[in-house]
Structure 1
Amino acid sequence: MKAVGIRFRTLPTILLTSRLLFSLLPSYATALSYSTQSSKSDGISEVSTCSHSYSYRTVQVQVVHRHGDRTPITPLKNEEYWKNQLVPEELLERVAAGTMVLRNGDTDNNNVKNQLEVHAAAGKGPFGKLTKLGLLGMIQVGTSLREELEESTNWSEVTNAAKAIATTMVSSSPSIGSEANHNDDGYLDQNRGLQQHGRIKLTPNDIKVYSTDFDRTIQSVQGLLLGFFPDANDDETTISIDCRDTTCWMIPDPQPRQTQEQKVLEQALARRPHILEKEALLRPLAVRCTRALLPLLGDGAFGVSFGVDESDDDNEDIQVLSWIQLTEITKCLRTRDMLPDSITEDDQEALSAHTAWKWFQSLRSPRLAHIAMRSFTQNIIRTMEQRDQEPPLIVYSGHDSSLIGLMCALHLEQPSVWPEYGAVLKLELLEKRKEHNNDALDGGEAPVNGNGSEKQHVDDNDDIEHVLRFFLNGQLLRSTWNDIPRDEISLKEFAHLASTVGNEATTNTT
């Protein structure tokens, strides 16, 4: 495969792009907020116990984000209105500069999508596409992520990052340039500075990007990269966006399903008594909202099928939109203050809550989570285990189903709200180092910790462990493997559980 170099965009381009987007955005832009908070763990670098303390340094970060604001996937009548919400083609070309999309069978003409592999959720025409508001939001997500990783994260000295550290650290900390931080040749000892200050400046060479092969996810991560690298230099630098087979493993509902077992299991899980009972209770809401939306629906609206177990029910006496369709249509309309009068905001929230509940009910099945998300979790684990050969930042551009599927497969706490546009699930791989108090050790002068007692680093491998922490939009999600809530889990245990729990087929759907 031949990579064609494209000059990475510079700061003036970023500013121009942002101004263009702001000028194109309607007044409702401020109504949609993007979750870009920094995680609460970054300031925690040391935890003490009565006999020893632990220090934490980040080794690798993997980020799974949902795409930005989009038009409805289900076709609606007012096509011209939705076309006007899309990002102008000229602006998309500017945003794509400096990136290269990788697909199976690529040649130099690598941006030709295989039209034989199109998921129904990709949408047709102007539907299912990233909006101007969505692009601006993803640029903000990238900016916030950069600030968090470069300004608030304590990185380990073993981080496999490009060694473009000296300039950043000299400018950010006057003490780093002191004589004590220089080697015998008078040059800045980058590793020593990193060890003391834990700061690095990430470059386009320090990131690996995956995306499902949807226009909106590719454009979303291009927007994220635009915000992450606003001051990239003028050298020829290309960031690859790997879309090779990703639509098969980055979402739990590929079309067609990867196995017949998954298809049958989804149907069985959806027909459990407690699911059917709740669906019956909420059916009047689905019927009422469908009727309210009928005047807005375009041709083929009822033929769109996507999501976990969203197949048609032959026993329906009237035609009703699926829960995911009702949720996504009303969400797009609500963002723009276009909900029909008979559908309230409470109705829209009830639709969204039920769809999320239904998806979690299915994907919480250990077997379904395993077979639906196995390849994704294996890629995450492999990248962490091979951290010496992998970059420090891995980004996956996906969907709400990607985040929900992973949270279930990784046995994380269930969030209180549906992952909004631009939501970020962050997996931190940390080096956890045990530090013993000096009174338990013989000889030598030890550093002093925060409470005045002396401590000493122990470099024995038995005192270094790699652990994971998980965050959704900056909020810690505890690991719940074996029904034990934990703030962190060792990489070794995590890899074992992810590969074994749900590994055996079963007919039990309770």
Structure 2
Amino acid sequence: GGVERMRKLGRMINGEMEEAFGGGGIVAWDEPETWLRAYSTDFSRTIQSVQAVLDGLLGDPPASSLRKGGRASKPRRREVDVDARHTSKMIPDPNPRRYVGQAELERELLSRPQFVEKEEEMKPLAVRLTRTLRESGILGEEAEGISFGVGEDEAAKGGESDNSVSGGDPPPLAWNQLAEILVCLDSQGRLPPSISRKDLSAAAEHNARRWFDLLGDPRLAAMAIKSLAKKMVLNAEEAVKAAVVRSKMDGANEKGAVTSTSEDPPSPSPPPILHVFSGHDATLIALMCAFRLERPAVWPEYGSYLKMELLRLDDDRRGESDGGGGSVGTGEGVHQKKENRDKNQFYVRFSLDGVPLRSRLGDVDGDKHRAGNSGDADSFLLRWEDLRRGLDKMERVLPPLAAPDG
């Protein structure tokens, strides 16, 4: 089921981190608070998903060599706190919207002729799927009138949007709501028999296409997910600063210029290596649009994960550090290198389900800011400076907040 799939994802991330950092991998398994942070929206499904990822990531505790009362004991693994306080910053369509003019921009984008035509083409499927769910008794009252979907809020509430249908059927569920419910039922093996795999795929693909079409507008992408994108970049910035400090200290130690005394202040604690964010399909797509990533060949499916890695340039290769998990994941850390040409040149690499994706944030002067040509692996690397510049540009075009940012 869905939970086991998330555990498997956690185990995969564990293996990637062992490969990236070498040696014992995650040696402080019983002190995850020293290297790991976890966040989620406040939906039970996303919280359950991130907990399953963490379970797979941390694994079973090894048998302790300590013995109590003549019997081997296993130390209790510390639980990782999941921060679920910032849902409105982790979904692209909170109610109310976060920025002045956001709802008006959504309506403008929704009124484009091609978009309207596609919505009309797909409406019969939405009506049929909604009717099937209602008649099966699976659709509880709690699902009625609740919508997370751009331009679908009024329809779900029976408001002004023209979402009426013929034949006496009530308005269909909003696409984002419908897709979420179907995915959840499928992961639990509870889909009604009359809903085929083709139906499921068509609903998921249309919902993803809908999000990509709307959030492909850079103005809306910035309003929708800037806060989460900024959080990810600031997490990485902590790792950049820590790595620069370490490089300076290593250089000074090599020259014999640094001597430690009891009066020296303690070294700052290293920042977390891995940040895991558990959100929704729309969260993932909004981030892809905000970071200007190329669209994947296959639409993101349930359990997909977006990974952002922070890397540092080496003479012969790129140092690697991995992260990921849930619907959205980031990893920050810098692998130890030898004979760097520039120890302070950092790059970011994005991937979806392990497939690298290029970012256009660095396309200021053609491919001037890319690490390599479009045909090689380095073309997937984005200079750290260009990522920061892209975030700054995103913030500059934002209108005022509709309410104080809590």
Q: Normalising by the residue count of structure 2, what TM-score does the alignment of the two structures yield?
A: 0.68
Q: Distance in 2 between matches of 1:326 and 1:222?
A: 24
Which stretch has the larger CA shift, 331-340 or 356-365?
331-340
Distance 1:332 1:464, change over 3 A: closer
Runs of 5+ consecutive residues of structure 1 not aligned to the other structure: 1-132, 156-164, 169-198, 437-455
Q: How does 1:460-479 map to 2 (within 5 A)?
A: 461=342, 464-479=344-359
Q: How does 1:40-59 map to 2 (within 5 A)?
A: none
Indicate the residue corresponding to 1:217 in structure 2. Answer: 46
Q: What's the offset of the Cα at 1:230?
A: 2.1
Deviation digits for residues 404-456 of structure 1 (CA, Å, limit 9, x no counterpart): 111111111212334333222111100112369xxxxxxxxxxxxxxxxxxx9
Which stretch has the larger CA shift, 325-334 or 135-144?
325-334
1:369/1:502 contact within 8 Å kept: no
Indicate the residue corresponding to 2:213 in structure 1. Answer: 361
Q: Distance in 1 between matches of 2:175 and 2:76?
A: 48
Distance 1:349 1:433, change over 3 A: same
Indicate the residue corresponding to 1:153 in structure 2. Answer: 20
Deviation digits for residues 322-374 of structure 1 (CA, Å, limit 9, x no counterpart): 22233334444555373353x43323322221111111111111111112111
Q: Distance in 1 between matches of 2:219 and 2:113?
A: 19
Q: Distance in 2 between matches of 1:332 and 1:216?
A: 8
Deviation digits for residues 114-168 of structure 1 (CA, Å, limit 9, x no counterpart): xxxxxxxxxxxxxxxxxxx332222222111111111x2156xxxxxxxxx6xx3
Q: Distance in 2 between matches of 1:372 and 1:502?
A: 12
Q: What's the offset of the Cα at 1:214?
A: 2.2
Indicate the residue corresponding to 2:321 in structure 1. Answer: none
Q: Choose from 103, 109, 115 the match for 1:269.
A: 109
Indicate the residue corresponding to 2:397 in structure 1. Answer: 504
Distance 1:137 1:288, change over 3 A: closer
1:411 equivalenced with 2:292 (yes/no): yes
Distance 1:301 1:144, change over 3 A: closer
Q: Distance in 1 between matches of 2:76 and 2:198?
A: 52
Q: What's the offset of the Cα at 1:472?
A: 1.1
Q: How does 1:100-499 map to 2 (within 5 A)?
A: 133-150=1-18, 152-154=19-21, 168=24, 201=27, 203=29, 204=32, 205-232=34-61, 234=75, 237-244=78-85, 246-296=86-136, 297-299=139-141, 301-313=143-155, 314=160, 315-318=162-165, 319-334=171-186, 336=189, 338-341=191-194, 343-387=195-239, 388=242, 389-434=270-315, 458-459=339-340, 461=342, 464-481=344-361, 482=363, 486-499=379-392
Q: Which amino acid aligns with 2:48?
A: Q
Distance 1:478 1:201, change over 3 A: farther
Distance 1:503 1:407, change over 3 A: same
Q: Distance in 2 between matches of 1:208 and 1:300?
A: 31
1:367/1:502 contact within 8 Å kept: no
Q: Which has the higher contact order (CA 8 A, sep 6+)?
A: 1
Q: What's the offset of the Cα at 1:239?
A: 2.6
2:10/2:56 contact within 8 Å kept: yes
2:313/2:340 contact within 8 Å kept: no
Distance 1:466 1:367, change over 3 A: same
Q: Distance in 2 between matches of 1:241 and 1:505?
A: 29
1:468 counterpart SS class: strand
How high is the sequence identity, in percent, across the aligned residues?
A: 37
Q: Which amino acid aligns with 2:292?
A: H
Deviation digits for residues 382-420 of structure 1 (CA, Å, limit 9, x no counterpart): 111111242111111222122111111111121233433
Q: Distance in 1 between matches of 2:273 and 2:316?
A: 25
Q: Which amino acid aligns with 1:250?
A: M
Q: Distance in 2 between matches of 1:243 and 1:334?
A: 25
Q: Distance in 1 between matches of 2:231 and 2:140?
A: 39
2:233/2:388 contact within 8 Å kept: yes
Q: How does 1:90-101 map to 2 (within 5 A)?
A: none
Indicate the residue corresponding to 2:262 in structure 1. Answer: none
Q: Distance in 2 between matches of 1:457 and 1:504?
A: 41
1:338 counterpart SS class: coil
Q: Distance in 1 between matches of 2:88 and 2:228?
A: 10
Count of matched residue positions in the alignment of Structure 1 and Structure 2 = 310
Q: Which amino acid aligns with 1:263?
A: A
Indicate the residue corresponding to 1:33 in structure 2. Answer: none
Q: Distance in 2 between matches of 1:503 and 1:390?
A: 28
Q: Which amino acid aligns with 1:391?
A: P
Q: Distance in 2 between matches of 1:266 and 1:493?
A: 28
Q: Which amino acid aligns with 2:58?
A: F
Q: Which amino acid aligns with 2:20?
A: T
Q: Distance in 1 between matches of 2:276 and 2:215?
A: 23
Which stretch has the larger CA shift, 397-406 or 479-488?
479-488
Q: Which amino acid aligns with 2:382?
A: I
Q: Normalising by the residue count of structure 1, what TM-score does the alignment of the two structures yield?
A: 0.55
Runs of 5+ consecutive residues of structure 2 not aligned to the other structure: 62-73, 166-170, 243-269, 318-336, 368-373, 400-406
2:277 counterpart SS class: strand
Distance 1:426 1:300, change over 3 A: closer
Q: Distance in 2 between matches of 1:316 and 1:459?
A: 60
Max Rg structure:
1
2:93 counterpart SS class: coil
Indicate the residue corresponding to 1:193 in structure 2. Answer: none
2:7/2:56 contact within 8 Å kept: yes
Q: Distance in 2 between matches of 1:227 and 1:344?
A: 31
Distance 1:435 1:288, change over 3 A: closer
